[in-house]
A and B are shown apart, each in its own frame.
Chain A
Amino acid sequence: MCNNCNSDEMINNFVDEEIDLSPLKPVIEKYGQVKGSLINILQATQDIYGYLPLRALNYVADNTPNKKSTIYGVATFYTQFRLKPIGKFLILQCQGTACHVNGSKEVSQAICEELKIKPGDTTTDGLFTIEDVNCLGCCSLAPVMMINGEAYGNLTPSEAVNIIRNLAKEADK
Chain B
Amino acid sequence: MKVLVGLGSCGIAAGGKKVLESINNSVKENELNIAVEPTGCVGMCFYEPLVDVIDGDKKYTYGHVNAKIAKEIVESHLKNGQPLKEYIIYSNEEPDIYVVNQLKIALENCGQINPENIDEYTSVGGYEALKKVLTSMSQQDVIEQMKISGLRGRGGAGFPTWFKWDAALKSGGSEKYVVCNADEGDPGAFMDRSVCEGDPHKLLEGMIICGYAMGSNHGVIYCRAEYPLAIQRLNIAIEQARENNFLGNNILGSDFNFDITIKMGAGAFVCGEETALIESLEGKRGMPRLKPPFPAQSGYWRKPTNINNVETFANVAWIIYHGPEKFAAIGKGNSKGTKVFALSGKIKKGGLAEIPMGMTLREVIFGIGGGIKGDKKFKAVQLGGPSGGCLPENMLDTPVTYEDLGKTGAIVGSGGMVVMDETTCIVDVTKFFLEFTCEESCGKCTYCRVGTKRMLQILNKITEGNGVMEDLDELENLALSVKDASLCGLGQTAPNPVLTSLKYFRDEYVAHIMDKKCPSKKCTALLTYEINKEKCTGCTLCARKCPVQCIEGTVRKPHEIVQEKCIKCGNCFTTCKFNAVEIN
Q: How many B residues touch the partner, as a band?
A: 35 or more
Asked if residues B385 and A97 are in contact (CB atoms below 8 Å), the reply is yes
Q: How far is the CB of A114 from chain B (nearest CB, A)?
A: 12
Identify which of residues 283-340 in chain B touch chain A, using a CB-to-CB cut-off of 8 Å.
Answer: 283-286, 301
B420 — which chain A residues lie within 8 A by C-beta? 101
A13 within 8 A of B: no
A117 within 8 A of B: no
Complex CA–CA separation, A110 to B569 (angstroms): 11
A38 — which chain B residues lie within 8 A by C-beta? 283-284
Contact among B45, B385, B574 for A110, CB-based, below 8 A? B574
Identify which of residues 121-135 in chain A touch chain B, using a CB-to-CB cut-off of 8 Å.
Answer: 133-135
A168 within 8 A of B: no
A100 — which chain B residues lie within 8 A by C-beta? 429, 432
A115 within 8 A of B: no
Q: How far is the CB of A108 from chain B (nearest CB, A)?
A: 12
CB within 8 Å for A140 and B344 given contacts A77-B286, A149-B228, A153-B14: yes
Asked if residues B187 and A153 are in contact (CB atoms below 8 Å), the reply is no
Q: Of A40, A98, A149, A153, which is in contact with the most chain B CB atoms at under 10 Å from its CB?
A: A98
A24 within 8 A of B: no
B574 — which chain A residues lie within 8 A by C-beta? 106, 109-110, 157
B264 — which chain A residues lie within 8 A by C-beta? 39-40, 43
Asked if residues A134 and B286 are in contact (CB atoms below 8 Å), the reply is no
Asked if residues A78 and B344 are in contact (CB atoms below 8 Å), the reply is no
Q: How far is the CB of B308 from chain A (nearest CB, A)?
A: 20
Asked if residues B283 and A40 are in contact (CB atoms below 8 Å), the reply is yes
B424-438 contact mask (Cβ, 8 Å, vs A): 1 or 0: 100001001100100
Asked if residues A151 and B13 are in contact (CB atoms below 8 Å), the reply is yes
A111 within 8 A of B: no
Return the chain A residue nearest B194 by Cβ.
A137
Asked if residues A39 and B283 are in contact (CB atoms below 8 Å), the reply is yes
Q: Of B46, B186, B190, B263, which is in contact with the most chain A CB atoms at under 10 Å from its CB?
A: B190
B239 within 8 A of A: no
A151 — which chain B residues lie within 8 A by C-beta? 9-10, 12-13
B350 — which chain A residues lie within 8 A by C-beta? 98, 139-142
Identify which of residues 16-45 in chain A touch chain B, using a CB-to-CB cut-off of 8 Å.
Answer: 35-40, 42-43
CB within 8 Å for A152 and B13 given contacts A98-B187, A101-B429: yes
CB within 8 Å for A134 and B185 given contacts A80-B225, A151-B13: yes
Asked if residues A73 and B187 are in contact (CB atoms below 8 Å), the reply is no
CB within 8 Å for A97 and B267 given contacts A36-B283, A140-B45: no
CB within 8 Å for A73 and B285 given contacts A97-B418, A138-B13, A140-B343: yes
B9 — which chain A residues lie within 8 A by C-beta? 136-138, 151
Complex CA–CA separation, A109 to B424 (angstroms): 18
Q: How far is the CB of B284 from chain A (nearest CB, A)?
A: 7
Return the chain A residue nearest B351 by Cβ.
A140
A48 within 8 A of B: no
A83 within 8 A of B: no
Asked if residues A101 and B10 are in contact (CB atoms below 8 Å), the reply is no
A133 — which chain B residues lie within 8 A by C-beta? 226, 267
Asked if residues B283 and A135 are in contact (CB atoms below 8 Å), the reply is no
A144 — which chain B residues lie within 8 A by C-beta? 13
B432 — which chain A residues lie within 8 A by C-beta? 97, 100
Q: How far is the CB of A88 from chain B (nearest CB, A)?
A: 19
A81 within 8 A of B: yes
CB within 8 Å for A102 and B346 given contacts A43-B266, A141-B48: yes
Asked if residues B14 and A141 are in contact (CB atoms below 8 Å), the reply is yes
Asked if residues A98 and B345 are in contact (CB atoms below 8 Å), the reply is yes
B355 within 8 A of A: no
Contact among A35, A36, A101 for B424, CB-based, below 8 A? A101
A53 within 8 A of B: no
A132-173 contact mask (Cβ, 8 Å, vs B): 1 or 0: 011111111110100001111100010000000000000000
Q: Which 8 A-B pairs have the closest CB atoms?
A: A96-B187, A140-B350, A135-B187, A78-B266, A151-B13, A98-B344, A140-B45, A38-B283
Q: B residues engaging A (CB < 8 A)?
A: 9-10, 12-14, 45-46, 48, 184-190, 193, 225-228, 263-269, 280-286, 301, 342-346, 350-351, 382, 385, 416, 418, 420, 424, 429, 432-433, 436, 442, 569-571, 574
15 pairs, CB–CB < 8 Å, chain A vs chain B: A37-B283, A80-B267, A101-B424, A109-B574, A110-B574, A135-B226, A136-B9, A137-B227, A139-B344, A140-B46, A140-B343, A140-B351, A142-B345, A144-B13, A151-B10
